[in-house]
Structure formats: C-alpha cells, structure tokens
Structure 1
Amino acid sequence: MPDTADILRLESLQVHFPAQGGVFDRILGRPAVAVRAVDGIDLNIRRGEIVALVGESGSGKTTVGRVITKLAQPTAGRLLFEGHDVTSVQSLSALRPYRHRVQMIFQDAYQALNPRHTVFDIVAEPLRSLRLAKGKQVTERVSEALASAGLNPPSDFFARFPHELSGGQRQRVVIAGALAVKPELIVADEPVSMLDVSIRAQILQVLVDLREKRNMALLFITHDLPLAWLIADRIAVLYLGRLVEIGSADDITFNPRHPYTVALRNATPQIGSNADRGELPALQGEVPSAASVPKGCRFHTRCPLAFDRCKSEEPPALEVGPEHTSVCWLAK
C-alpha cells in the first residue's frame, strides 16, 4: 500500500503554448491566442502509489508528464517534489539529482531507442550522464535493470541492437533505462499502447512488481479506463487540460459521477448485450480547441446532460465520496 506522504504535488499547474496567427490576424490586429494544454490542475501522488491519468487524445496528459520530468516548463503553478518547490529548476547541475529520482517511460519505444546503440549502451546512458556509476558498477546496474524489466539473462541482450528485438523487448529496454538510476517516481506515458494484449499483461506486471519491491510511485498515463482500473490505486480524469474527476480506481470505474467519465467507460467494448446497462448517449462532435475554450464549463458543448448554467459558470469541485471529487453541477 502507498505511503500517506506525498512524493509529488502539482498546484494550479498551467501550460500554455502561443499559437501562430495567420497573415489576416496580424493585419486586423487580432490578439495572440494561446493553446491552454494544461489549464490549472491540482494533483498529488503518494510514495508507493500508482495514479492513472486518463483522458482522450489532446486532453493534456503527456504535457503533464513532461512538466513533471522537467522536459517542459509550466506557464504558471507549482511543482513540489517531497515538499520542495522545483518549478524553476532548469540548470543541468540542478537537474541531475532530480532526474536521478524522477524518470519517464516514453510511449513509442521505436523512437525512444537509438538504433545505432546497443542495448547495453542505451541502458547505461543515464547512469553515465548522471554520473551515478562507472566501470564494473555500470555493468552491474545495467544487468540489474534488464533483469528487473524481465529481460533474462541480461547478458544475452547486451550486444543486441533495437532492430533485433521484438516490440515487447523494446519496451522492456525502455523500462530498464528508466530503472537503471533507481528512481522514486516514474512517469509512464502510454507504455503498452503499441503492444498486443499478451505482452501488455507482462509489462504491466513488471510495473506492479517494481512498486511492491521498491515502494516506487508511478504516474500511469493512458486513454484506456479499464487498463487504468487494472493497475492504479487512484484515477484522475483529464479533459481539455482540466481534471474533471478523481477518486479511487473502483469509484471512478464503477461509480463515475461526471458525464465525461461515464462516456469513457461506455466507450469500452463490452462482451454481450449493452441494452440493459442504462448508459448515457455517446459524446457528440470533436474535442473543442484548447485555444478557444468557451466561457463556463468547457465540457458543456459535448455533454448530453448540459443545461444553461453550464454555458456561463465553471462548476466547483464537489466531494461525492471518500477522496472522490467530481467537477460537475450534477455530481451532488
């Protein structure tokens, strides 16, 4: 079970990207527009806890992960690691100890692995760049990381190149690269989305086992709600840069209180008839542009239960159960 102490906390986090206007925008003097990829979220992760960040493509999930791993700088808000404000940490010397403790597993193993490097060099790279080991220590740490990621015996993979590996083995090498520095928090960005079902189960088991053995915290980014329920202690649902619901994995999956969470659940294929499930109608239309979010509840243009109040007022975060919060007027 996770420790009650927070290892990471996001406070009012915002990430806005300036959008280039066209020629007519400049001629007509139209104001510059910013894409609000992340628009004020509060989230905490406890030591040893697995938190799943769920939402459709374009909701801001990866941007949150990139801010946590210091690959993107927030526009506003704070990033606290073990109570220390690390929001403005940017220099290489200051980032070394942070990246020793916080690592990221990237979604696309094909792009994350250098095709000209062997598996040994790929996994050893963070150890060398962060100056955590040298000589025989590097070999020992690489072997340990590969074994922890399920690549046994490790020495059989040292001299292989990425093109000589299967998809599941590539993903395990990416995981091993993150594990080599023995982090305390890992951000896993869709780590199994490109794998078939049988390999997915193996990779997920590796992540769960690591949590148990090392008391390591994990932010698991996915668009798959059932997958999040399978692995996470808590689930946070993200829509257009805002958290719309957060709670235990069971509450979010089986007792969702926000229409968007219900829609995510109902979008999952079910075995057998859905006629008696009493599900809400499917969401209509595309996700609104993050550069032109309407005033009021940003979800109202797609919500089948929206009413006039949704167009003008942003709903508050309402406590609907123990550690279960939903941002919707109908969640009372």
Structure 2
Amino acid sequence: MANDVVLQGSHIGKWFGRRSERRQVLFDVSVAVHAGECLAVIGGSGSGKSTLTRILLGLETADAGTVTYQGADVTCGSRAAGYQALRRDSGLVYQDPFASLNPRWTVARSVGEPLHLRHRGMGSDDVARRCAEALDTVGLEPSTFLNRYPVDLSGGQAQRVAIARAIVNNPKVLLADEPMSAIDVAARVQILEAFAAIRRRTPDMALIVVSHDLGVVQHLADRIVVLHDGRVEEEGPTARILREPRNAYTRTLIEAAS
C-alpha cells in the first residue's frame, strides 16, 4: 500500500441548526486517507460518520478546519482547484441502490451516464466498452445486464450496478456509505467480492467505507476510525482495533457486533 496521503481532513468542526437550536456534530476531527488503502469509518447512529465523509468528499462544507485533496484545498469554495479535482476523481456508492438508479433507464444508460457527463464527445463504442468493463469488474455479465432496468434486478445486483457506475470513470477516491445495509445477507458476499475486485484492478485507489457492520469492515478495511458523538475515539489498523480495542466505546461496539 502506498504511503501517500490522498485525502485529508484537519481539525474538522461542524454545526447544524440555528441560534438556540444550533448544535455541534463534529469536534476537531482529523483523518487521513492513503492511496491504495481502505479506511472504514465506524460508530453508532448519530456519531457523525456520514457527515464527516460527506465533508471529506466536498458534499458538505465544514464550519471549522480544512480538507485537502492531493495537497490542494477543497474547503475554500466550489471553484477551487482542489474541489474541482476531487469531484472529478471521486465516486460515490449510496445505501439504497434503487433510490440511486433511475427506474426509467437501462443499466447501460445508468452506468454510462458519468462518462457522458465527464467526457463529452466520447464515442459510443468507448462508452460501451467502459460500461462492460465496469460491470465485469463487479461480477455482472454485461450481455445479460446492460439492457435490464432496475425493476429487473435483485437488491444485490442493483447495488453492484450502482458500484459499476461509481467506478466507470476510474476514480482515485471511492466512498461507500453503508453499502450493505439495504442488502440481504446472501448478496453481501457478492458485494464484498466486487469491492475486492475493484481494489485489485485499481490498487492505488483510496476506498472509504462507512459502516456499522463490523463483519464487512473486517473483510474490507485496512484501517479503522471510530467516531462517537462527533469525536474520534480511536483509530488504527483493523486487526488491532477489532482484537485489542483500547477505548471503552470501541469495546462496546465490538461486543454488540459479536
């Protein structure tokens, strides 16, 4: 795994609400994501996992602190070079695949949409080839699935289509926000295999996984950050965190999962 820091948040603070209802949800959070690694962000409901990762990807703004992508500032506005580069180089996988797929579009159109948006003028043959490669990577036979609609897909198949769309542009950073929570147990193995195949195909890509499922984290993540009430409780290599947690809150999470 490369040691280069691709994406870094430093002393991130975030508040929601106004005036008397204003509350802080992230407290001086610092986290770094390296090229080629899978970082898992775990914690209970309301811990700040999704808020932190959305700030890291430029989908929300921080009220304090900075985010840098490959050393360039992301937090100084949407016109900033760092922000534009991050949006160009990142992919997103959401919790509910059916909510993220247009029911009127075929799989081919859904997977190919990012190519049309980002590479205007790309030939139809190149688009078809890239879509087929992305589907093949996530374990879906292109000839079988390209002309299907979301209604024709199982939950696991729909999520793999959503993952294929997220990787069709060969992102340098991929965020998966609770990618297994809407998927049945049998399909989770296929999703894990899809992520493993993606990492083999793009060994320098940074993968950020938000999850409450420690079984998923154990199989995917190289490193874990534990959030609780908007604060980093513990971070370190996955094996060490899961086997020898040093923080009481982390031990509680692991015991509950066990």
Q: TM-score under structure 1 normalisation?
A: 0.73
Q: Distance in 2 between matches of 1:32 and 1:239?
A: 23
Q: Could you say which residue in structure 2 is the equivalent of 1:307? A: none
Aligned partner (choices 231, 235, 238) of residue 224 of structure 2: 235
Report the alpha carbon displacement of residue 85 of structure 1 after superposing the two structures with TM: 1.2
Aligned partner (choices 208, 212, 216) of residue 219 of structure 1: 208
Report the alpha carbon displacement of residue 32 of structure 1 after superposing the two structures with TM: 2.7
Q: Equivalences for 1:90-239 in 2 at 5 Å? A: 90-91=78-79, 97-131=85-119, 133-152=122-141, 154-215=142-203, 216-239=205-228
> Unaligned regions of 5+ residues in structure 2, if any?
none
Aligned partner (choices 221, 237, 250) of residue 261 of structure 1: 250
- Aligned residue identity for 2:179: P
For the pair shown, which has the larger CA radius of gyration, 1 or 2?
A: 1
TM-aligned CA distance change 1:92 to 1:167, over 3 Å: farther
Contact 1:16 1:38 in 2 (8 A): yes
Q: Equivalences for 1:276-315 in 2 at 5 Å? A: none
> Unaligned regions of 5+ residues in structure 1, if any?
20-30, 270-332
Report the alpha carbon displacement of residue 166 of structure 1 after superposing the two structures with TM: 0.6
Name the stretch that deviates more: 154-163 or 31-40: 31-40
Describe the superposition over 1:119-163 as per-residue Cα deviations: whole angstroms up to 9, x where unpaired.
1111111111122634322111111111111111x1322221111
Aligned residue pairs: how many? 256
Describe the superposition over 1:283-322 as per-residue Cα deviations: whole angstroms up to 9, x where unpaired.
xxxxxxxxxxxxxxxxxxxxxxxxxxxxxxxxxxxxxxxx
Q: Distance in 2 between matches of 1:204 and 1:58?
A: 25
Q: Could you say which residue in structure 2 is the equivalent of 1:69? A: 57
TM-aligned CA distance change 1:92 to 1:232, over 3 Å: same
Correspondence 1:53 to 2:41: yes
Percent identity between the two aligned chains: 36
- Aligned residue identity for 1:72: E
Correspondence 1:37 to 2:25: yes
TM-aligned CA distance change 1:232 to 1:254, over 3 Å: same
Relative CO higher for 1 or 2, CA cutoff 8 Å, sep ≥ 6?
Answer: 2
Contact 1:9 1:81 in 2 (8 A): yes
Describe the superposition over 1:78-132 as per-residue Cα deviations: whole angstroms up to 9, x where unpaired.
1111111111241499855422311111111121111111111111111111226
* SS of residue paired to 2:162: helix
Report the alpha carbon displacement of residue 3 of structure 1 after superposing the two structures with TM: 0.3
Describe the superposition over 1:188-242 as per-residue Cα deviations: whole angstroms up to 9, x where unpaired.
1111112122211121121122212211111111012232122111111011111
- Aligned residue identity for 2:20: A
TM-aligned CA distance change 1:92 to 1:11, over 3 Å: closer
* SS of residue paired to 1:74: coil
Q: Distance in 2 between matches of 1:141 and 1:148?
A: 11
